[in-house]
A and B are shown apart, each in its own frame.
Chain A
Amino acid sequence: MSKPSLIVIGNGMVGHHYLESLVESGFAEQYEITVFCEEPRLAYDRVHLSAYFDGSSADDLAMGTPAQYESWGLNVRVGEKAVAIDRDNKTVTAASGDLLSYDKLVLATGSYPFVPPVPGHERENCLVYRTIEDLEAIEAAAKGGKVGVVVGGGLLGLEAAKALRDLGLETHVVEFAPRLMAVQLDEDGGQLLRSKIEDLGVKVHTNKNTQLIDDGESAMHRMNFADGEKLETDLILFSAGIRPQDELARQSGLEIGERGGIVVNNHCQTSDENIYAIGECALWNNRIFGLVAPGYTMAKVAVSHMLGGTEEFTGADMSTKLKLLGVDVGSIGDAHGMTPGAISYKYSDDAAESYKRIIVSEDKKHLLGAVLVGDCSQYDTLLQYALNGIELPEHPESLILPSLDGAAAPALGPDALPETATICSCLNVTKGQICCSIDEGATDVGMVKDATKAASGCGGCAALLKSVVDNELEKRGVEVSTDICEHFPHTREEIYHIIRVEGIRSFQELLEKHGKGLGCDICKPTVGNMLASCWNEHIMDEQHVHLQDTNDTFMANMQKNGTYSIVPRIAGGEITPDKLIVLGEVAKKYNLYTKITGGQRVDLFGAQLHELPLIWEELVAAGFETGHAYGKSVRTVKSCVGSTWCRYGVKDSVGMAIDIENRYKGLRSPHKLKFAVSGCTRECAEAQSKDIGVIATENGWNLYVCGNGGMKPRHADLFATDLDDETLIKYIDRVLMFYIKTGDRLQRTSVWMDNMEGGLDYLRDVVINDTLGLAEELEKQMAHIVSTYECEWKATISDEEKLKRFRTFVNEEGGDPQIINIIERDQIRPA
């Protein structure tokens, strides 16, 4: 069966974000994806386009790279336009004439600059400002000229004016409205912005309606305005707003708004349920959103909806903060005070050339909007008040008034922000998510950015992000936090190194040489675990037994009523009928609740401490071994039935799973390890959600690493392809031992990978290219573990001293009379 096909038309910032979100969702591989990128290069950062004239190259601005797209498995048609959509036959026609079918179609066609139909607008060197090609044309046109004019005094127009000034032209801005940035700023704000820009040498002409462009005398063009004035210029840049690029949608009969824009619902679906529209081409609630943040939100919503999610697009905050020609400008929410009853406060400082205005609700409790020109230092605080409905201080004006006594203005500290506060509105990252990433191991802004993507959109929240991160780190006492606990002034990795190098064999020895006190429930199990990873001695040996968590101590999993569950090893999930019968008989005899686990095992619940050895005696006699379900250790290797039975299987996945399980069973590690082996690319064993995943190919085995399910699922990364058996095992040996060496306490391989500097490439370098020269040592260490394996339960039932430990009471036979079960669905469960 072939995969459903998905076509994405448009590869701007929003189109790129859509692909990125889809890949992150983990479902990209379920679709055959084709991307139309009309421009000659993949998505780039249009928001920072003017940086092109500051010395940034097209590569610096690039967001998507061909290599990245290839690794995502996308078919990209760069420089090729989609020219028609046939909705009846569900096809897209490419400019080349190719006909491509789709199951789902995403339109991310963006917008085009509006060029007013002034006679003469098509003359040479009358340009627009949107693409890198436009910039190249502007650069070329500027070479022969002295004067440049931007038509349009909005946000983009002023950006374009900066570009012209950077190119050394005498720069003019011509605006139809009476003030600059009429959408975002009020009259006073616009006025101040104008005077500041004029101080920088840019001439501003407002209330100017261009009627004709014809030949100039001193320059190439002459602009003739309705009021009779004229302006001569060599170059004209139109930046008079954008229009949604809806042509394809229009000709295919999708519903289009009266003034353009592809009509979408809250799921970003167009009038055709199989077609989505996102970004500046989409019209939601009769509005076009010309900022990148709402476009990103739409991209996420469209991905979510296609995958059956429930996210909705319900409008967007259009607040902006930016530096225009070096002038700080900020606009939040209802900047014009249009809300009925709104009260506004203004503060204007001619000396400092700044203007601030806040608009608050009638009851003065909430901030509705703000305008800031010349000084945006309060922007982040004000935005948080507005977005999160935080109650204002008694005198709201104190937020924008300078402090006369030298005291700091009442900034909204990061502590005052609720968990739900959106810190990065481009990527919709909340304070709660940032805190969460810190709890999961991020220890600086960079790591938080990597984990949450915060501040990777417009970057406007970078300062706020840093203050939140710093504050949270401080609260968690990060300076000392790398120590494992108060008993050892070392990290887990350092202690592991000490144990290896000094050959330390017991916790007591380590404590005497490098620690203090008695230890605790943090360091004792961690050290016990590392000693096992290094030397593989029985965890119930006298010097180790007191280190272990109750699960390891009694080699079973404690349940909520103090009883234990037992999971015998069933390597690869393969079990004979006779052994299955034994499990049933034992469960029946000891009245245990039985359940099949996700790792293809049988879990037997409800055994009391004193029953464990009795049960294991029977299990060991039947040939079972312990399953280590209780340890931070290798748990299960799950497999599909593979080529021995399955008509699609290309290799014996069960055989490989059993070999792998028998090799690594008993290995203890920073956290639990789960494996799976699939016999073909259909992946029935779900190997890509495992710490170590192996998938058979026609030519060998593909190895995936560092995936997991659980609270925060992560798909495993493809580590190496088409390996033979021997190389596969060699790589797994090295990956696991390197994880044991460098992983943090209770850090799953997924988080380990996410925190690894250099990531997957680095791990490949270490494991495949042996850049650290560790490979041989790692293999030797693994060989020691493999050769010293013994079943912990088998060793225990023949050892009188160890068996003494399995008494519910030391002074009485039998179990705890207070454990009471009831019957539910024909089995016991705790009352």
Chain B
Amino acid sequence: MNSVTQLDWKTLCSLSDLVPFSGVAAKMGDAQVALFYLPGQEESLFAVCNHDPVSRANVIARGIIGDLNGEPVVASPLYKQHYALKSGECLEDESVKLKTFPVRLNGEQVEIMQA
């Protein structure tokens, strides 16, 4: 909550809370983060902001995961825009972007770094 802990990895939830090839939402303070788990992939864990900038609802975690030309993406469940999981960039609209967070698996724990 204060500046001392800001750059630390923080445990968010456990691996068993994740759903393979799908997303879940987690609270990070007052903020909401969408976590996506792609087991077996080169990069298997992604964290982006759960807030959908187009619909302004907190729903990104409930989108479908896939890839477009090899780039892992999530499709907004409301208006179907695609966001790159690595960069948070929207493939259809340059003016919107999802915030991304560093995230890692530490044993059974999912850890995130809040910038």
- A residues with CB within 8 A of B: 486-487, 517-521, 523-525, 542, 545-550, 553-554, 558, 560-562, 804-805, 807-812, 816, 818-819
Chain A contact surface mostly: loop
Does any Cβ of A come within 8 Å of B22's Cβ?
yes
Q: Which of B22, B69, B73 has the most CB of A within 10 A?
A: B22
Does any Cβ of A come within 8 Å of B106's Cβ?
no
A508 to chain B, nearest CB (A): 9
Expressed in whole angstroms, the Cα–Cα distance for A389 and B27 within the complex equals 58
A521 and B66 within 8 A (CB): yes
Contact of A810 among B24, B62, B68 (CB under 8 A): B24
Query: What is the interface residue range for chain B against chain A?
Result: 35 or more
Residue numbers in B under 8 Å from A518 (CB-CB):
21, 38, 41, 65-67, 72
Residue numbers in A under 8 Å from B67 (CB-CB):
487, 517-520
A237 to chain B, nearest CB (A): 65
A517 and B25 within 8 A (CB): no
Residue in chain A with minimal CB distance to B70 = A517
- B residues with CB within 8 A of A: 12-13, 17-22, 24-27, 32, 35, 38, 41, 55, 57-59, 62-70, 72-73, 75, 77-78, 80, 82
Known: A486-B68, A518-B66. A560 touches B57 (CB 8 A): yes
B25 and A810 within 8 A (CB): yes
The 6 closest A-B pairs by CB, nearest first: A520-B66, A562-B57, A521-B75, A546-B21, A550-B77, A810-B17
B66 and A811 within 8 A (CB): no
Expressed in whole angstroms, the Cα–Cα distance for A24 and B20 within the complex equals 50
B63 and A811 within 8 A (CB): no
Expressed in whole angstroms, the Cα–Cα distance for A162 and B58 within the complex equals 74
Expressed in whole angstroms, the Cα–Cα distance for A486 and B67 within the complex equals 9
Known: A808-B25, A810-B25. A520 touches B68 (CB 8 A): yes
B22 to chain A, nearest CB (A): 4
Q: Which of A558, A560, A811 has the most CB of B within 10 A?
A: A811
A816 and B62 within 8 A (CB): no
Residue in chain B with minimal CB distance to A812 = B27
Residue numbers in B under 8 Å from A810 (CB-CB):
13, 17-18, 24-26, 35
Residue numbers in B under 8 Å from A547 (CB-CB):
64
Expressed in whole angstroms, the Cα–Cα distance for A653 and B17 within the complex equals 48
Expressed in whole angstroms, the Cα–Cα distance for A550 and B12 within the complex equals 23
Expressed in whole angstroms, the Cα–Cα distance for A545 and B24 within the complex equals 13
B32 and A546 within 8 A (CB): no
Known: A549-B77, A811-B13, A816-B32. A562 touches B24 (CB 8 A): no
Residue numbers in A under 8 Å from B80 (CB-CB):
521
B80 to chain A, nearest CB (A): 7
B27 and A809 within 8 A (CB): yes
A818 and B27 within 8 A (CB): no
25 A-B contacts, Cβ less than 8 Å apart?
A486-B69, A487-B67, A518-B38, A520-B66, A525-B64, A546-B19, A546-B20, A546-B21, A546-B22, A547-B64, A550-B63, A560-B55, A562-B55, A562-B58, A804-B17, A809-B25, A809-B27, A810-B13, A810-B18, A810-B24, A810-B25, A811-B12, A811-B13, A811-B17, A811-B27
Residue in chain A with minimal CB distance to B56 = A561
Residue numbers in A under 8 Å from B59 (CB-CB):
550, 558, 562
Residue numbers in A under 8 Å from B27 (CB-CB):
809, 811-812
Expressed in whole angstroms, the Cα–Cα distance for A811 and B12 within the complex equals 7
A538 to chain B, nearest CB (A): 15
B78 and A558 within 8 A (CB): yes
Residue in chain A with minimal CB distance to B80 = A521
B26 to chain A, nearest CB (A): 5
Residue numbers in A under 8 Å from B75 (CB-CB):
520-521
Expressed in whole angstroms, the Cα–Cα distance for A213 and B80 within the complex equals 79
B72 and A560 within 8 A (CB): no
A529 to chain B, nearest CB (A): 13
B64 and A520 within 8 A (CB): yes
Known A523-B66, A547-B64; 18 more pairs at CB < 8 Å: A517-B66, A517-B70, A519-B66, A520-B68, A546-B22, A548-B64, A560-B78, A561-B55, A807-B24, A810-B13, A810-B18, A810-B26, A810-B35, A811-B12, A812-B26, A812-B27, A816-B32, A819-B58
Expressed in whole angstroms, the Cα–Cα distance for A42 and B111 within the complex equals 79
B65 to chain A, nearest CB (A): 7
A802 to chain B, nearest CB (A): 11
Residue numbers in A under 8 Å from B22 (CB-CB):
545-546, 553
Known: A520-B68, A520-B73, A810-B26. A550 touches B62 (CB 8 A): yes
A449 to chain B, nearest CB (A): 32
A427 to chain B, nearest CB (A): 35
Expressed in whole angstroms, the Cα–Cα distance for A810 and B19 within the complex equals 11
Residue numbers in B under 8 Å from A553 (CB-CB):
22, 62
Residue in chain B with minimal CB distance to A524 = B64
Residue numbers in A under 8 Å from B68 (CB-CB):
486, 520
Residue numbers in B under 8 Å from A554 (CB-CB):
62
Expressed in whole angstroms, the Cα–Cα distance for A826 and B3 within the complex equals 46
B73 to chain A, nearest CB (A): 7
Known: A486-B69, A518-B66, A518-B67. A811 touches B19 (CB 8 A): no
Residue numbers in A under 8 Å from B78 (CB-CB):
558, 560, 562
Expressed in whole angstroms, the Cα–Cα distance for A520 and B58 within the complex equals 21
B79 to chain A, nearest CB (A): 9
Contact of A545 among B19, B66, B73 (CB under 8 A): B19
B86 to chain A, nearest CB (A): 13
Expressed in whole angstroms, the Cα–Cα distance for A558 and B80 within the complex equals 13
Expressed in whole angstroms, the Cα–Cα distance for A818 and B41 within the complex equals 33
Known: A561-B57, A811-B17. A546 touches B24 (CB 8 A): no
Residue numbers in A under 8 Å from B32 (CB-CB):
809, 816
